[in-house]
Amino acid sequence: MASTWATTAENQLITGATLRNIPYYYPYTVDVTIPAEYDTRIVTAAYIESHTNVSGQVTPTNRCPTRADFEGNF
């Protein structure tokens, strides 16, 4: 499982570690500290939308978005 944005393929799901590691050039901020126990957990769209400035529906809220789904918001 990838733990950085650079090593996450377009079709891979986003983990807490990946979410924390998204490069600065995306207009994206996290409004909470992502706990270390989330490093290997796959995050849902609802989690991303609740704790970041990502607007719009990344994917249905009960689903887990891929990197491509996330990037589609920018």
The tally of domains found in the chain comes to 1
Q: Using CA atoms, how far apart are residues 61 and 36, in angstroms rounded to an integer?
A: 22
* Boundaries of domain holding 51: 16-71
Residue 32 lies in a domain: yes
User: In 3-state terms, what secondary structure has residue 38?
Assistant: helix
Q: Using CA atoms, how far apart are residues 8 and 2, in angstroms rounded to an integer?
A: 5
Residue 46 lies in a domain: yes
Residue 2 lies in a domain: no
Helix extents (H) in the chain: 16-20, 45-51, 67-71
pLDDT tens digits, residue range 44-68? 888 888 888 776 666 777 788 899 9
This prediction's pTM? 0.80
Q: Using CA atoms, how far apart are residues 37 and 25, in angstroms rounded to an integer?
A: 26
pLDDT tens digits, residue range 11-37? 999 999 988 888 777 777 787 788 889
Residue 43 lies in a domain: yes
Residue 67 lies in a domain: yes
The closest of 73, 57, 66 to 14, measured between CA atoms, is 66
